[in-house]
Chains A and B, each alone.
Chain A
């Protein structure tokens, strides 16, 4: 399988700040590739280099078989994190403009725009100005402007932020359908649950360096099965002081517990049962959320930036 995007030892520095350091990355064609990392880790800079908005200081960026040019830009759709639409322009006119910029004939752009508006329940708004739309509607219009020209590569930066569940579902269905149709999707998000559910492949970048790369199974396997997911009355208090517990990720009704290496989950269960009522106890692989926090949580953040390896990963 060929790669839709291939970055080879790419670095980018702004002044004295190294935004991306020797990053190599391959996004296989036709897959949904999750791109995660904390704020300021270099995700947007990487996406901008893929889009040729920024040029790398060193290394090569190959997109849809083209290296170092904008030649592929009409085959890419890009939804930036911060949405940008002309407030005073009518919805359909805006879509036609963005479509035309991507090389579509105006008539074809108009037809495609109407189809997508119909599909996402916005037909009635085609001739309204963007400023009259709700935030969720504007986000869907922005999404349509990204996919109108049927791109081969779709780059989505936080596509679901601020959407209600109904709109989120509609947008996710549309993305999955495009994926089934063969579109490669590079998808940057902070929503770990969404990334777990949607992405075939994940890459995490932290302080400008790649710290995770693989399928969810591969990544979870790497982080072992030292995790217990449990629900118990007064779980926090019951877990307090237990020497086998390294960290507790408190999700309110649920707790995700990381055990000392070699610790026996059965001992933890016994200790808990002796102190409180346990409703659920499951030995599990760590969630992506937990892995993310292990790598980029406050403890890791306190380490010097030069320590580019290890980031909480087991030896």
Chain B
């Protein structure tokens, strides 16, 4: 056992002292927040060139309203709030267009768009502002462009024309628009938690439920658990394979019992993942407490029990997954063989990802209850259920711990037996049948 700790210590230091580890620590938040950062960067460097567009409006009211609204927007709605003010969005520049007699405006304007003179053009139907069914049926608004992915402009046009249509319809019907707005305002439902009586007899009122707490916390912890397990445990396959291919294994097993060697490696892997957890969770908590970006309800939802279950499930997942990866590494002599063997196993190990959203939405559904008791999925899915209200029943939690604990012991035991024989086996392409033979003989 002492030797297992010696192995664990060396393997742990080997892992955390590498440049790759430090880069990985720094890169993970960057990768996870990559989308956010990319959006911010693209906002800062957005194309703010004018979006000039033609409006073919026989009636003229829509074109006039768009010109007025664009002037207001260009004056107030496209600038940064900080000084000196900086243009953040493009100006919209509508220009009325009157087709020459016999001219097809779509053809003529399309050509101008192609030449880059216009960003697009709008065709306004004669009945566009009338209530549905009250005109001649020519009520379409057609936006033509060769940049259909840019939707800010057509969205703005839609909103402005709707505003105009609504206003003109109310006026035509003799209704007070402000009164209609007030009378048709929506009724909202607030989601609340439950009231309870504390140990001292004090009644604690139900507080408003926060999505950040009820969805954010379970999602963050289960994702972090899964990502850290899947980014550390597979490394065991490579290190064991490396030791085998470079003949280090024989030196090691001449000194250390193969089971102790495996145990040392598993402890090192678990320690690496826990180190990463401490760094990420710790940094996250410090950030949450010192900035006002994170809602207080989210912080309140992270209890000591949440953290304890996180550590427990992470260790169980690492020991079981790690033993599987190490056994496969020991059984193979080439990376290709290892990849072939890993294929079916990866589906089992990826299972929590497939069920993550269904479990989050319906944590107490029969499907959620069943899949969260399947050992390869339990650590991630039960972590999610533990931190998502109302949480699993105590017997479910107990069953999860017993089943996953048993599965972990089985994986380490079986992995140890395969490891013991596989680590010195050379020149044999591994198969599931052979692993089974080793498992029985080990």
A residues lining the B interface (CB < 8 Å): 48, 51, 53-54, 70, 73-74, 76, 78, 80, 82-89, 97-98, 100-102, 142, 145
Stretch at the interface among B59-67, B253-261, B352-360: B253-261
Q: Is the CB–CB distance between B6 and A82 below 8 Å?
A: no
**Which B residues are CB-close (under 8 A) to A73?**
254-255
B249 interfacial contact with A, CB 8 Å: yes
Q: Is the CB–CB distance between A101 and B252 below 8 Å?
A: yes
A101's partner among B14, B246, B247, B255 (CB-CB below 8 A) is: B255
CA distance A264 to B417 in the complex (A): 63
Q: Is the CB–CB distance between B254 and A100 below 8 Å?
A: no
B251 interfacial contact with A, CB 8 Å: yes
Q: A53-B424, A97-B10, A101-B3 are in contact. Are A87 and B255 (CB under 8 A)?
A: no
Q: Is the CB–CB distance between A98 and B251 below 8 Å?
A: yes
B49 to chain A, nearest CB (A): 52
Q: A101-B6, A101-B7 are in contact. Are A84 and B250 (CB under 8 A)?
A: yes
Q: A101-B6, A101-B7 are in contact. Are A84 and B254 (CB under 8 A)?
A: no
Q: A53-B424, A89-B14, A101-B3 are in contact. Are A80 and B255 (CB under 8 A)?
A: no
Q: Is the CB–CB distance between A53 and B247 below 8 Å?
A: no
B residues lining the A interface (CB < 8 Å): 3, 6-7, 10, 14, 243, 246-257, 424
Q: A53-B424, A70-B257 are in contact. Are A80 and B6 (CB under 8 A)?
A: no
A-B contact count (CB 8 A): 53
Q: Is the CB–CB distance between B248 and A84 below 8 Å?
A: yes
CA distance A83 to B243 in the complex (A): 11
Q: A53-B424, A78-B254, A102-B255 are in contact. Are A87 and B246 (CB under 8 A)?
A: yes
Q: Is the CB–CB distance between A53 and B243 below 8 Å?
A: no
CA distance A86 to B13 in the complex (A): 14
CA distance A175 to B250 in the complex (A): 21
Q: Is the CB–CB distance between A84 and B10 below 8 Å?
A: no
Q: Is the CB–CB distance between A51 and B254 below 8 Å?
A: yes
Residue among A51, A76, A84, A98 with most chain B CB within 10 A: A84
Q: Is the CB–CB distance between B246 and A53 below 8 Å?
A: no
CA distance A76 to B250 in the complex (A): 14
Closest chain B residue to A146, Cβ basis = B251
**Which A residues are CB-close (under 8 A) to B257?**
70
**Which B residues are CB-close (under 8 A) to A53?**
250, 253-254, 424
Q: Is the CB–CB distance between A101 and B248 below 8 Å?
A: no
A80 to chain B, nearest CB (A): 5
Closest chain B residue to A74, Cβ basis = B255
**Which B residues are CB-close (under 8 A) to A83?**
247
30 pairs, A vs B, C-beta closer than 8 Å: A48-B424, A51-B254, A53-B424, A54-B424, A70-B257, A73-B254, A73-B255, A76-B254, A78-B255, A80-B251, A80-B254, A82-B247, A82-B250, A83-B247, A84-B243, A84-B246, A84-B248, A84-B249, A85-B248, A86-B14, A88-B14, A89-B14, A97-B6, A98-B251, A98-B255, A100-B6, A100-B10, A101-B7, A102-B255, A142-B251
A109 to chain B, nearest CB (A): 11
5 shortest A-B CB distances, which residue pairs?
A84-B248, A84-B247, A82-B247, A78-B254, A51-B254
**Which A residues are CB-close (under 8 A) to B251?**
78, 80, 84, 98, 142, 145
**Which A residues are CB-close (under 8 A) to B3?**
101
Residue among A51, A54, A100, A145 with most chain B CB within 10 A: A100
CA distance A4 to B10 in the complex (A): 32
CA distance A142 to B246 in the complex (A): 13
CA distance A78 to B253 in the complex (A): 11
Closest chain A residue to B245, Cβ basis = A84
A277 to chain B, nearest CB (A): 51
Given contacts A86-B246, A100-B10, 16 further A-B contacts (CB under 8 A): A48-B424, A53-B250, A73-B255, A78-B254, A80-B251, A84-B243, A84-B246, A84-B249, A86-B248, A97-B6, A97-B10, A98-B255, A100-B6, A101-B252, A102-B255, A142-B251
B247's partner among A70, A80, A98 (CB-CB below 8 A) is: A80
CA distance A219 to B63 in the complex (A): 114
CA distance A54 to B442 in the complex (A): 11
**Which A residues are CB-close (under 8 A) to B10?**
97, 100
Closest chain A residue to B253, Cβ basis = A53
CA distance A86 to B10 in the complex (A): 12
**Which B residues are CB-close (under 8 A) to A76?**
254
**Which A residues are CB-close (under 8 A) to B252?**
84, 101
Closest chain A residue to B5, Cβ basis = A100
CA distance A97 to B7 in the complex (A): 8
Q: A97-B10, A101-B7 are in contact. Are A80 and B250 (CB under 8 A)?
A: yes
CA distance A82 to B247 in the complex (A): 6
**Which A residues are CB-close (under 8 A) to B253?**
53
**Which A residues are CB-close (under 8 A) to B255?**
73-74, 78, 98, 101-102
**Which B residues are CB-close (under 8 A) to A54?**
424
CA distance A159 to B145 in the complex (A): 78
**Which B residues are CB-close (under 8 A) to A48?**
424
B20 to chain A, nearest CB (A): 11
